[in-house]
Amino acid sequence: MLDTTLPPGYLGAANLHAIPLPLLLLPVRATCGFPSPAEDFYGSQDVLDINQRVVRNPVATFYVEADTGTSMVEFGIFPGDTLVVDRSLTARHGDIVMVCWEGGFTVKQLRLRAGRYELHSGNPANAPILVPEDVELDVWGVVTWSFRKQWRR
């Protein structure tokens, strides 16, 4: 029997007792244009633990993999991306949310217009989902981060 309480692509909850993996955080921002010669010397270096950066509330934070659809590409979410979803946040207008809609999970941008909720994809060719006034929208969580593998091997 299929467990419909968990979204497809569910990767699991954030681990409260994860072993910290602090990695060096360079004290500069990476230029995506022409590099500055002044950045040849890096003085002090901080460390970064990715869980401390992306997980605000560990008991309410989950990871899920985006499916193969491309409707959210314009919002920076690509097929196969890992999404960080925080269930403790109250969704607001403009947030990217994961909702349970018509028996399945979907990720869309939440908008409030004229007192009604709309779910928008990043692709303007896709019509918004207009949530009927008599239907309670089940927002499963707010997407706070997404990760994309760049190295394709």
Catalytically active residues are: 71, 108
Q: For residue 70, with 0-12 CB atoms within 10 Å meaning exposed, 13-18 middle and 19 or more buried, which class applies?
A: middle
CA 19 from chain center: how many Å?
22
**What are the C-alpha distances in Å from 100 to residues 15, 29, 48, 62?**
24, 38, 34, 15
**Closest CA relative to residue 140, chosen from 66, 95, 86:** 86
The letter for the amino acid at 102 is E
Phi, psi dihedrals of residue 51, rounded to the nearest 5°? -65, -40
Contacts of 42 (CB under 8 A, 6+ apart): 26, 27, 28
Q: How far apart are the first and last CA of the chain?
A: 35
